[in-house]
Amino acid sequence: MIPAEFEYTRPATVGDAVSALTAAGEDAKVLAGGQSLIPVLRLRLAYPTTVVDVGRIDEMRGVRDEGDAIVIGAATTHHEVMRDPLVAEHAALLAQATGTVADPQVRHRGTFGGALAHADPAGDLGACALALGCEFVASGPGGERRIPATEFFVDYLTTALNPDEVLTSIRVPKLGAGWSSHYEKFNRVAQAWSIVAVAALVRRENGSIAEARVGLTNMGTTPLRASAVEQALAGADATEAAIGAAAEHAAEGTNAPSDLSGKADYREHLARVLTKRAVLSAAGS
Amino acid sequence: MTSVEDRPAAEIGQSRRRKEDRHLITGRTNWTDNITLPGMLHLAMLRSPLAHARITSVDTTEAKNRSGVIGVFTGQDFKDVQGSLPCAWAPDGLVNPGTPSIAVDQVNFAGEIVAVVAARSKYEAQDALEAIEIDYDPLPPVLGMEEAVKDGADLVHPGTSSNKIYTWEFESGAAGTGIPIQEALDTAEVTVQRRFIQQRLIPAFMEPRSTVVQPVGDGVTMWSATQIPHILRTLLAATLGLAEHKVRVIAPDVGGGFGGKIAVMPEEVLCTLVARALNKPVKWTESRSESLLSAHHGRDQIQDITITAKKDGTVTGLDVHLYADMGAYNRLFGPSVPVLGAFMYNAIYKFAAYRFVSEGVFTTKTPTDAYRGAGRPEATYAVERIMDELAQELGMDPLELRRKNWIKHEEFPFTTVAGLTYDSGNYEAATAKALELMGWEELKAERDRRRADKDPVQLGLGISTFTEMCGLAPSRILGSLAFGAGGWEHASVRMLATGKVEVVTGASPHGQGHETAFSQIVADKLGVAFDDVEILHGDTQSSPKGLDTYGSRSLAVGGAAIVKAADKVVEKARRIAAHLLEASEDDLEFDKGSFSVKGSPGSSVSMGEIAFATFLGHNLPDGIEPSLDADATYDPVNFSFPHGTHLCAVEVDTDTGFTKIRKYVCVDDVGKPINPLIIEGQVHGGLAQGIAQALYEEAVYDESGNLTTGTFVDYTLPSAADLPSFTTDRNETASTYNDLGVKGVGEAGTIASTPAVINAVVDALRPFGVNDIRMPATPERVWRAVHEASAGGGRAEGGTTAYGGASTTTSDGEGGFLQ
């Protein structure tokens, strides 16, 4: 890998990282596990003046319980997320989706926060974060702020983070009783990006679906919520027919890309099929 | 004299673990890129971003001033000395405008080299590329083969009159190998025509290409990640006007090739030119992106196939027309690749008439050349696909159609309608074994049940009863086909004083396991221990003669040469043994490494003892030179013809179009096995690559002629996670054409598997009115095929992610071939 020349700094604290970003100006990039940034540098698609490596900041790693939410450090690796007991208990959707990310090598280097901050709509975690209602905790020169998932993803590879902000952790609200989930991923080869994927969360009550949240991967320039599906599912019977009918709304409001893996109409079809499968599976139907 | 009681067991046939793997998998490898020489400079290549353009100005001033930069060279610097990269196939009328290593005033594909930087570090070299200013005047890209050969088409090369490079034809009536094709076409009771597309593929070897060149006096020493150090030495010298004996080429450990390293590469020529210009050693190692873009590609043919038959299913004629995309230039064997398939379309079937016409075409794409199987996968695909379509037309079981028409085992040797004589085989036995391992009848019942139930997941069953010609090749045949090289192989066997053995082979390996298999052969032939044999290869100074590794030739030709050299050693040893045992040579027998006098057990002398006695030279018969060493150069009398029956069951999810291989069984006949474990490994790897053509891989160009699949994000190689656990077995009929009875296995899996998979996918989709599916059978294509009763159509040409191509334009329609 032969990137263009850049300055490199490896701060030990979040404060130092923010200082480094502030000093470096707009053309700085944050490096965590490097699984998104390094390929971009290698192909010389980006020319950062400074790379701020947050991979050794201890306070950005690990998962902790904060009562109503679990908090996942942004530099926690995918492998750690998959194996974490708090994630398994309170956000099984994340564990399952993370297990589909790339391959074991990538999952041992790549980080939870890094993948989200890269904001590739084909990445698997954004749709889950949307469905789970996560909050993104960012530190900047003015202190810390929380960004709701609905506001975090702005456009293709673009988030609400300012150039001088570091994503430090992600707050995942604990789901109450009765919720179950499924991540349905579709790709051509095992380690590839999703062509389309669907994250489904379902709360069942008395044999029907009381509430559902559906996130879509790679159906637009950002991860999306399938709001029309969610509305159709609220109060619906947990039957294949009812879920299938609701899933027919999956492509509404989307803006799917056309590329080598599929043109937009095929992705729209996949969104419907995969939404039905995801919700059926989440609902245990 | 002592007798040897602990004689080695027979090595041939044992599943020895590969002796080369210890260093290959523990990081003790000597890759070309590991080589560092004092004062060595690093080269980086600037490549054209445009598919077709005139170069209007070049400014290297700023680049030359960059830190660490020692030299910047362009086409103007080398135009008078670079010569033309060789094409070793020269039939009458071949249009060859020449192949520059560095473009001088026009670029003809995106990725063609336009400038070279030499710098003290590879980082400085890479950075300086961005400071080179080149202005281009774009020309229209030439992309589709059929468009390219039309009258008035834009020409790739100025000074040519057409983009058509050659037309090569074989016709059984004219050749006297069968009846005229026209007679079969005129009298056909049933005719089926199809067009098949062999998509463009990228060999995607694991070790990127790398070359180091050190100037030495009037010549050079070159280390290169190549399959062909010997051919490279001769042709590099010829290309640059160097004296052959002043050029030494070394292929150190080479990490895969699959045909992709059969080349005289532009970068090898440029490393030589820059090293000599600066009088410094230089190294160039490509990035993966450079590799996908500019190392030669493979396949890329449009095949129009017509098969004729009687109503009872007897096939009568096969008429084949190909367009073959050479890309922008005629590379080393590129134009000849279709011809390597020309004799194989008739496969294992007894056609009365056969015609093959191949037309080579220039386009503004990366040049194509050999890729695993080279011509034979294309042939096997076409015939095995159209046999299924004929069976469908006739309402016959595809297996029955094959049985009715294949050569029966008692009919060998059999001379085919293409004029080749197959020595041995047993298609009935291999097929019977495969069907049993597959559980064929049960799977058929399940397929029919799912079909009747309109199950959203359909089961499809595919057959490929393939053969191929390999063990390249009898020199006379190559000569008659206009190749500029023979097909012999050379070996030397050297007995050392301590009884250890050095074997020099001209078949330079790049991952096949030559050291193990050849050691097993020599251990048996000389009766020495497996570990006492060292195989030397890949350096034209220590292994001066050879024709290298490709075409599944190393064992059938290179191994046979080693046998002949070893036999000579035994004969030399026999004279000395007779002297030492004070017996007549005629009274000696040689068994398991020892000579003994017939009828007098207890009196014997081992090869080791003879070797030491020869080393001492104290007590040899009069007139005998003190050496047991022997050479042999072996020219095969024929190709070898491995065959096998491959069966594939796929589950196709008709809701998503996803194809999953449920079961894959193959029974291959590769003759007598030397090392069954290596055979197994070759078959597994071959299957993965053949299946990859069917389902996963395709090099896609956009409408401007840019390679969209420029990284492994978009050029989707399957991994173990995507492939089933293969069930492999063997049937053995010995080749009668070489002393080992071997047939070659390096390409078999790749040649056989692609049609087995696609036949299975099409079988699954028949209820939807589908009778073909374009490769790769992506989920989107399969889904569209189901919904449109089509072959799945074109693909979008844009990249998938931030790391892929920039555009998302699309090209639709059955007629809109993207290659």
Q: Three-state SS string across B228-269, please?
A: CHHHHHHHHHHHHCCCHHHEEEECCCCCCCCCCCCCCCHHHH
> Does B718 contact A at CB distance below 8 Å?
yes
What's the pLDDT score for residue B8? Answer: 52
Which residues sit opposite B693 in a β-bridge?
none
**pTM for the full model?**
0.96
| Residue B91 CA to its chain's centroid (Å) | 22
Q: Which residues of B touch A262 (CB under 8 A)?
A: 778-780, 796
A208-212: long-range contacts (C-beta < 8 A, 24 or more apart)? Answer: A208/A235, A208/A236, A208/A237, A208/A238, A209/A233, A209/A234, A209/A235, A209/A236, A209/A237, A209/A238, A209/A242, A209/A243, A209/A279, A209/A283, A210/A178, A210/A234, A210/A235, A212/A279, A212/A282
Q: Which residues of B touch A126 (CB under 8 A)?
A: none
- Contact across the interface for A193 and B713, Cβ inside 8 Å: yes
**Closest CA of chain B from A142, distance in Å:** 31
Count Cβ atoms below 10 Å from residue A276 Cβ, excluding itself: 23
- Contact across the interface for A269 and B783, Cβ inside 8 Å: yes
**Closest CA of chain B from A72, distance in Å:** 26
Residues B170, B342 contacting (CB under 8 angstroms): yes
Which strand (E) or helix (H) includes residue B519? helix B514-526
B126, B696, B721 member nearest A2 (Cβ): B126
Could you tell me which of B298, B295, B300 has the C-alpha nearest to residue B284?
Answer: B295
> Does B47 contact A at CB distance below 8 Å?
no
What integer is the mean pLDDT of A8-34? 96
| Residue B426 CA to its chain's centroid (Å) | 25
The dihedral sign for the CA sequence B9, B11, B15, B21: positive
What's the pLDDT score for residue B448? Answer: 98
List, in order, residues 6 or more apart from B130 with CB less than 8 Å away. A4
Could you tell me which of B811, B488, B513, B485 has the C-alpha nearest to residue B682?
Answer: B513
**Closest CA of chain B from A120, distance in Å:** 8
What's the pLDDT score for residue B796? Answer: 60
What's the pLDDT score for residue B786? Answer: 93
Low-confidence ranges of chain B (pLDDT < 50): 1-7, 798-819
Could you tell me which of B322, B368, B328 has the C-alpha nearest to residue B341?
Answer: B322
What's the pLDDT score for residue B809? Answer: 35
Which residue of chain A comes nearest to B717, CA vs CA?
A189
- Contact across the interface for B780 and A263, Cβ inside 8 Å: yes
| Residue B319 CA to its chain's centroid (Å) | 25
- Contact across the interface for A189 and B289, Cβ inside 8 Å: no
Which residue of chain A comes nearest to B701, CA vs CA?
A260
Residues B630, B492 contacting (CB under 8 angstroms): yes
B455-458: long-range contacts (C-beta < 8 A, 24 or more apart)? Answer: B456/B653, B456/B654, B456/B655, B457/B651, B457/B652, B457/B653, B457/B654, B458/B651, B458/B652, B458/B654, B458/B764, B458/B765, B458/B767
Please state, rounded to an integer, the average pLDDT across all residues of chain A: 96
Which residue of chain A comes nearest to B699, CA vs CA?
A260
- Contact across the interface for B810 and A258, Cβ inside 8 Å: yes
B127, B709, B801 member nearest A193 (Cβ): B801
* B658 three-state secondary structure: strand
- Contact across the interface for A273 and B289, Cβ inside 8 Å: no
Nearest-angstrom CA–CA distance, A74 and A84: 14
A120, A188, A263 member nearest B801 (Cβ): A120
Name the token pair of B509. 């390996």
Q: What are phi and psi of B285, to 5 degrees?
A: -130, 130
> Does B283 contact A at CB distance below 8 Å?
no
Tell me, what amino acid is at B482?
Answer: A
A43, A261, A270 member nearest B800 (Cβ): A261
**Is residue A106 scored above 60 in pLDDT?**
yes
Q: Which residues of A touch B713 (CB under 8 A)?
A: 192-193
- Contact across the interface for B721 and A191, Cβ inside 8 Å: yes
List, in order, residues 6 or more apart from A38 with CB less than 8 Å away. A1, A31
What's the pLDDT score for residue B813? Answer: 32
What's the pLDDT score for residue A149? Answer: 98
Angle between helices B229-240 and B266-278 (to 10 degrees): 60
Which residue of chain B comes nearest to A258, CA vs CA?
B808
A42, A193, A259 member nearest B808 (Cβ): A259
- What are A's interface residues with B at a Cβ cutoff of 8 A? 1-2, 4-5, 36, 39-40, 42-43, 45, 103, 120, 122, 157, 186, 188-193, 195, 257-263, 266, 269-270, 273-274
Best interface-test mutation with B: which of A100, A261, A268 has the largest number of B CBs within 10 A?
Answer: A261
Strand pairing category for A224-225 and B282-285: unpaired
pLDDT, tens digit, 9 for 90 and up, residues B289-315: 999 999 999 999 999 999 999 999 999
- Contact across the interface for B287 and A2, Cβ inside 8 Å: yes
Could you tell me which of B230, B274, B294 has the C-alpha nearest to residue B74?
Answer: B274
Nearest-angstrom CA–CA distance, B394 and B575: 67
pLDDT, tens digit, 9 for 90 and up, residues B590-634: 999 999 999 887 889 999 999 999 999 999 999 999 999 999 999
Count Cβ atoms below 10 Å from residue A176 Cβ, excluding itself: 7
> Does B356 contact A at CB distance below 8 Å?
no
What's the pLDDT score for residue B797? Answer: 56
Which residue of chain B comes nearest to A261, CA vs CA?
B800
What's the pLDDT score for residue B790? Answer: 77
Q: For chains A and B, what is the number of CB pairs under 8 angstroms? A: 92
Count Cβ atoms below 10 Å from residue B208 Cβ, excluding itself: 19
Nearest-angstrom CA–CA distance, B338 and B165: 13
**Closest CA of chain A from B604, distance in Å:** 59
- Contact across the interface for A260 and B287, Cβ inside 8 Å: no
B657, B700, B721 member nearest A260 (Cβ): B700
Q: Which residues of B touch A5 (CB under 8 A)?
A: 123, 127
* A13 three-state secondary structure: coil
Nearest-angstrom CA–CA distance, B22 and B595: 34
**Closest CA of chain B from A15, distance in Å:** 30
Nearest-angstrom CA–CA distance, B698 and A117: 31
In angstroms, what is the C-alpha Rg of chain B?
28
Count Cβ atoms below 10 Å from residue B813 Cβ, excluding itself: 9
- Contact across the interface for B289 and A43, Cβ inside 8 Å: yes
Please report which residue ranges of B59-141 form alpha helices under DSSP H.
61-65, 75-78, 122-129
Which residues sit opposite B283 in a β-bridge?
B42, B212
Q: Which residues of A touch B123 (CB under 8 A)?
A: 2, 5
- Contact across the interface for A40 and B802, Cβ inside 8 Å: yes
